[in-house]
Structure 1
Amino acid sequence: MPEYAEVALRALFSFIVLFTCARVLGKKQISQLTFFDYVVGIVIGDMAAQLAIDTSMKIVNASIGLVVYTLLSVIIAYGAIKSFKFRDLVESSPSILIKDGKIMEKGLFKHKMTYDDLMNGLREKDAFIIDEVEMAIMETNGQISVMKKPEYQALTPKDIGLRMKDNHAPSLIIIDGTLLENRIKSLGYTKDWLHSEIKKKGAKDFKDVFLAQIDSNGNVYVDLYNDAEETKKDKEE
């Protein structure tokens, strides 16, 4: 077999194995990864790359390495879920960096953080003055969570005695020209009402609508297949 064909087949096999391992490990967001997760991901990716292009490496050996790393990661993740002590061992625990406006130097030293690192994390949370911070915590994923003192927190409707109507998340009601009738009924609207609403946006029929969404106040957002018609309608309004 030509070498290029072998590399292509190994790359295909490596891709399948890596995809399977990724599915087994779950769907954590990048921002949720601990340092350990990050390092394991790099190692698994490197193994998959070696499996794809290093023709001197036996496929079985590389596959065993990938499977072992994946299984160990799953076991550790399962152990962290079941045992607080084990989770503290493998993932560490959140550390207090600021308490009552006072910097906890031991917390900074523990995480090898400088004053600039701390201030950068605070600014990302719109906290520019340390004295305004009630508490700042270094999470296990490296993010800094900030709680400001009550007098510096933004007002909410509840703080000033306002009662707000309950809101539901915006719902898609038309997708690619197809009306989701069950969803419309569950939201308490009728097909005829929706038809009149999309006509206001320039659509003659549901099939003219690429995407339509409705919010908790009954406002309908419509995106037409023919954007020129939609733009013309907006200008007329």
Structure 2
Amino acid sequence: MPDWLNIIVRSLLFLVILFLITKWLGKKQISQLSFFEYVTGITIGSVGAEVATKPNQSMMHGVLSIGVFALVPFLAGLISIKSKPFRDFVEGKGTIFIKDGKIMEDNLKKEKYTTDELLELLRRKDVFSVADVEFAVLEAAGDLNVMLKKENQPLTAKDLQLAVASVKEPQTVIMDGKIMDEPLSTIGRSRKWLLTEVGKMGVTLENVFLGQVNSYGELTIDVYDDKLQIPSPQERPLILATMKQCEADLESFALATDNETAKEMYVKNSKKLQKAIDKVTYILKS
């Protein structure tokens, strides 16, 4: 076999082997690496490249070497799950850089970070003043996590004591003009319902690039033609408008009648309906 063909075959083989090993080790191997995983990952790649590009090298020896470097972090991961001291040694621990609004200079020196580098990390978190920070920790993976002081944190609905509707993840039911049956069945909808909703928007299924159903059961779509304006779902605003109209009608009936019994009934039900409107406005308001 010519050397160039041998190299192609060996490269493809080791590419498959490295892919399978990475899948076996899990997603952590390609996301947040510990020091140990970083070293073994580089070594596995180096061994694979060395054996793939040198035809005189034994393929079995290369596979055996890669297998060892893959097995060791796998076993280390299993031990780390059961032993925190071992996990701290292998994966490292977070280092506090700011505590109670004060910079921990000794910890900065320990991790060999300068003040400029700390400020840069803070700016990456959209924090430009150290005085705004209550707590900051450098994680083992090298990311800086920051907690702002209470007065500098963004307001939430809980802070304002506002009721908000719970939101579930949207389900993608149309992709590239094709219906996705699994997410459609997850939300308890049928193809007939989907086609009907698409038809209401004045487009055909083939023209839909992406279609999603939100937590309220409303279909939103994106079409191939970017110039085409697709109306937003109007079911919830229409329900709210109808409820408000009914409440206004009850008030009008109460003012228009001279029958005290009817007037009392209209006023009573108007108040009940208004309470119901107040409870569902945050859900139905577009």
What TM-score bracket applies, with the shorter chain setting the length?
0.7 to 0.9
Give the aligned residue type for 1:232: L
2:174 and 2:208 in contact (8 A); partners too: yes
Q: How many Å apart are 1:198 and its aligned residue?
A: 1.4
| Alpha carbons of structure 1 residues 41 and 31: separation in structure 2 relative to 1, 3 Å | same
Q: Which residue of 1 aligns with 2:145?
A: 145
Q: Deviations over 1:130-158 (max 9, x none)?
A: 11111000101000000011111000001
Q: What residue ranges of structure 1 are gaps of 5+ in the alignment?
A: none
What are the residue-to-residue correspondences of 1:16-165 with 2, within 5 Å?
16-28=16-28, 30-165=30-165
1:209 and 1:222 in contact (8 A); partners too: yes
Q: How many Å apart are 1:189 and its aligned residue?
A: 5.1
Q: How many Å apart are 1:165 and its aligned residue?
A: 0.6
Give the aligned residue type for 1:128: F
Q: Which has the higher contact order (CA 8 A, sep 6+)?
A: 1
Query: Which stretch has the larger CA shift, 142-151 or 207-216?
Result: 207-216
2:122 and 2:128 in contact (8 A); partners too: yes
1:101 and 1:131 in contact (8 A); partners too: yes
Q: How many Å apart are 1:72 and its aligned residue?
A: 0.5
Q: Which residue of 2 aligns with 1:179?
A: 179
Distance 1:143 1:155 in 2: 25
Q: Which residue of 2 aligns with 1:212?
A: 211
Query: Which stretch has the larger CA shift, 121-130 or 188-197?
Result: 188-197
1:95 and 1:139 in contact (8 A); partners too: yes
Q: Which residue of 1 aligns with 2:281?
A: none
Instruction: Specify the structure having the higher radius of gyration (Cα).
Output: 2
Q: What residue ranges of structure 2 are gaps of 5+ in the alignment?
A: 232-286
Q: How many Å apart are 1:201 and its aligned residue?
A: 3.4
Q: Flag the structure with higher helix content.
A: 2
Return the TM-score normalized by structure 2.
0.73
Give the aligned residue type for 2:17: V
Aligned length: 231
Distance 2:156 2:102 in 1: 27
- Give % identity: 38
2:36 and 2:73 in contact (8 A); partners too: no
1:168 and 1:216 in contact (8 A); partners too: yes
Q: How many Å apart are 1:53 and its aligned residue?
A: 0.3
Q: How many Å apart are 1:89 and its aligned residue?
A: 1.0
Q: How many Å apart are 1:127 and its aligned residue?
A: 1.5
1:34 and 1:142 in contact (8 A); partners too: no
Distance 2:112 2:52 in 1: 37
Distance 1:177 1:126 in 2: 39
Query: Residue 93 of structure 2: SS of its match in structure 1?
Result: coil
